[in-house]
Structure 1
Amino acid sequence: MNEELSILKGIHPGIILERELRKRNFSKAQFALSIGEYPQTLGAITKGKRNMNTALALKIEQALDMEEGYFMILQVFFEIKMEKLKQHSNNSSDHPKLRRLLFWDTRMEKIDWQKQKRAVIQRVFERGNDQEKQEVIRFYGNTVVENILKYKSIPNNDT
């Protein structure tokens, strides 16, 4: 379980629950009723709009014959991730200063600047201006930027 948890760290437990229900061909509504919960409650959790609570986690784990505490561990890791994102967004030096226009398709507050550095660097070097390119080099360092851009230019022969 430890290896699986390290892979799933930061993912909302509702997403994992939905995947598990789909894998077992269970309807969310019928499963919710079978454990004595409202379908709306389970739906909100699987959409990530509501957090998992201990009582519900225990019911789900028992009904799905899963290890006790699994969903609450996922919930804690998710909450840690959200708190870190909040702290990073409050500290402006933790991310490069770039125009929101470059990231029109996402909320900049949700970007994990370290985990998603490859995508950030590639986007800035494809669509950014010279000032933004310099900002990315300042933020990540010249070596990291060069390695990512060099890696991108290698042709992919997987097809």
Structure 2
Amino acid sequence: MKYTMAKVPDTFAIMHGLLGVVKSEFESAGQLSPELLRSLHMLHGQTLVSALDLIDSKKVTIVTSNSGRWVYQVTGSAGTPYVCLPDSIFCQCPAFKFSVLKKKDSVMCKHVLAAILATAMGVTDKKTISDEYMMDLLFHMD
């Protein structure tokens, strides 16, 4: 059977569907089932393992300004904080530029995946900053 682009599964649609399951399983059992982890691993490979490590280490923070603007700040494994935009796969990290944009090896980097999963699981830290600090944070994004 010949596949057209319309018939190729949309990774983002699949991921969006799995997020509801992530939320439901984590709320009811406090963990994700092996079946769900296998499904997520099929989509993201080693990126999933790295993202789960960031979540376990409590490296995902939702940073909100007084005016209501918000971003994710995910501290990488080397201690560098990266800004990830909500409802986007954008991240400041080198892996985003190289693996996601250039090589197209990954759908998203570990920081974005960690932010999405941590939000679905309800395990993000929260931090409020001034509007001026938020503007500075956004202005210095590469």
Larger helix fraction of residues: 1
- TM-score (structure 1 length as normaliser): 0.22
- TM-score (structure 2 length as normaliser): 0.24
Larger radius of gyration: 1
Larger strand fraction of residues: 2
Which structure exhibits the higher relative contact order, with contacts defined as CA atoms closer than 8 Å and separated by 6 or more residues? 2
